[in-house]
A and B are shown apart, each in its own frame.
Chain A
Amino acid sequence: MIEMRDVGFGYHGQDELLSGMTLTLQPGMFHFLTGPSGSGKTTLLRLCFADLLPSSGQMTAFGQDMRALSRDDIADLRRRVGVVHQDPQFLDHLPVAENVALPLTIAGEAVDMEALRDLLGWVQLTHHARALPPSLSGGERQRAALARAVILSPDLVLADEPTGNLDWEMSMRLMQLLIELNKSGKTVLVATHDLNLIRATKAQVTARVLRITGGSLHLAGADL
């Protein structure tokens, strides 16, 4: 799925933020990526959907060398990798339902209205289907972003601090959705610095916890 071998990355003119990263995302597994703020969690996630390219090492996604991807290849990769950002962006002029269906629209696929209704029901946004994104609360935006991320039934779902702006109850509702996705066979990688969230999730699903410290990646121990 996603494989990194000794991957390094540094922003322009700066020292490497990440170095010697070796990682294999196991298909069907729930992964957490944790570490202090500024440790490179978001950067590592951005490498996974080709928003950034590694400066060194070897990285493949679904068997393709990330550095050899054309712009169309990147677009195709992003249809196989659903992403939920900490501050998800929408097309504010389109209703929530159209935003959620957007990946289908741009892929030129027909929108199955019944499936779309089911998806909105799953994220509890049925009543907001015709609302415009700016009118949604933080939790609703995250759930809408999750629905949009999974509408193409991607192999991998990435979530970057998805609960960063949510209260505990909302956070757990969102995590519940991610757990359900994982139980349906999707590979999930959630970046978060919230250890309580990780513990609460691990109580419900087997999860692999990866920790970034000092620019390197380690498998976290049972102390979590």
Chain B
Amino acid sequence: MSARMNIGSLWQGLMGDKGGAGDRIVPPTGFTAQLTLFSAGAMAFLAVFALALALATGRLADRWSSELAGSVTVRVSAPAADQDALAQAAMTILQTTPGTGTPRLLPPEDVATLLEPWFGPDMPVDALPVPALIDLPVDAGFDTEGLRLRLEAEVPGAVLDDHTEWRRPLVTAANRLRMLGIVSLLLIGAASAAMITLAAKAALAANVQVIRVLRLIGARDLTIATAFVRRFTRRAAMGSAVGTLAGMAGIAILPDTSAAGGFMTGLGFQGWDWLLPLTIPLIAAVVGFAATRWAALNMLEAVR
């Protein structure tokens, strides 16, 4: 059956301009038409957000990963009398370490800024036993472990923090969110296929007498199937085009990423990403095509 009903012929039937008369052999079906349009539109709308989620979390994971991986922090904790000398010793080591940029000893103002979220703006940081902090830009593939061992040996109280402890759970969380977005997209695709299949089956079942008449006057399965497939493919494409545009409009009116920062404001498309949702109607058309074709083939098999 499937060999006889080859995809090329079916596609030609779908895209050709001879479909007008052929399409008319299928009676107008208000309920299934509206169901297909609505479900395709709703699914496309959701797909846009799932796509935006997947892209945003992907960007987030990359950003967190690259930002934190691009530098390490050396913390020097020592009695106040020794701290400056040990910090300078650490600076000397860092300046001569291969694969690193210029180390920067954070001035007290920067340290105060870092602590401000916890202690407030008026806390006298100078009175606290705060360790000296050195920010060190590093290249990819930098030997973290070698530097850690050298600091331990030569600068007592110096601790190298490569941010792994912070970075790993953040990147893991972002990657899981990205996976959630992808799984959502797949589920939306599967649910769309299921709904279109149901609608197509309902339409086919409602038109079994039409199919019987067509078979009796010499219609091939391909001709009958094409009429149904064409109709459902178009509905799926049209419904999802509307849903996609609505979803893109919804994404477009989200607050700008620079407005407040944070994850939620980053949920959107950037640059060429805006072209990606435009593939949703095409994918919906392919899903509609495949789902209806499958339903039509099964149905026609039962009609002699």
Contact = CB atoms under 8 A, between A and B. Distances in A.
Given A89-B209, A106-B223, A78 B24 contact: no
B18 A106 contact: no
Nearest to B25: A91
A44 B268 CA distance: 68
Contacts of B215: 75, 78
A98 B216 contact: no
A91 B210 contact: yes
A112 B210 CA distance: 24
A90 B4 contact: no
A103 interface: yes
B150 interface: no
Contacts of A136: none
B218 A76 contact: yes
A141 to B, nearest CB: 13
Interface in B87-102: none
Given A93-B28, A105-B22, A106-B22, A71 B210 contact: no
A78 B1 contact: no
A70 interface: yes
A152 B218 CA distance: 10
Contacts of A111: 21
B214 A106 contact: yes
Contacts of B27: 91-93
A221 interface: no
Nearest to A145: B217
A53 B18 CA distance: 34
B160 to A, nearest CB: 75
Contacts of A77: 218
Given A51-B304, A75-B219, A102 B25 contact: yes
Given A51-B304, A71-B4, A105-B25, A90 B218 contact: no
A108 interface: yes
A83 B216 contact: yes
- Chain A, interface size: which category? 20 to 34
Contacts of B219: 75, 106
Contact of B216 (A78, A92, A152): A78
A72 B4 contact: yes
A9 to B, nearest CB: 14
B168 interface: no
B163 interface: no
A83 B24 CA distance: 22
A107 interface: yes
B28 A106 contact: no
Interface string A80-113: 0001000001111110001000110111100100
B264 interface: no
A89 B208 CA distance: 12
Interface in A140-161: 148, 152
B186 interface: no
B63 interface: no
Nearest to B214: A106
A31 interface: no
Interface string A50-65: 1100000000000000
Contact of B220 (A71, A90, A98): A71
Contacts of B210: 91
A217 B295 CA distance: 42
B213 interface: yes
Contact of B24 (A51, A75, A98): A98
A103 B22 CA distance: 11
Contact of B217 (A92, A93, A103, A108): A103
Interface of B: 1, 4, 18, 21-22, 24-25, 27-28, 209-210, 212-221, 223, 300, 304
Given A89-B209, A102-B25, 5 more contacts: A70-B4, A74-B304, A78-B217, A83-B216, A106-B217
18 contacts: A71-B1, A71-B220, A71-B221, A71-B300, A75-B220, A75-B221, A76-B218, A78-B217, A89-B216, A91-B25, A94-B25, A102-B214, A103-B218, A106-B217, A106-B218, A106-B220, A106-B223, A148-B217
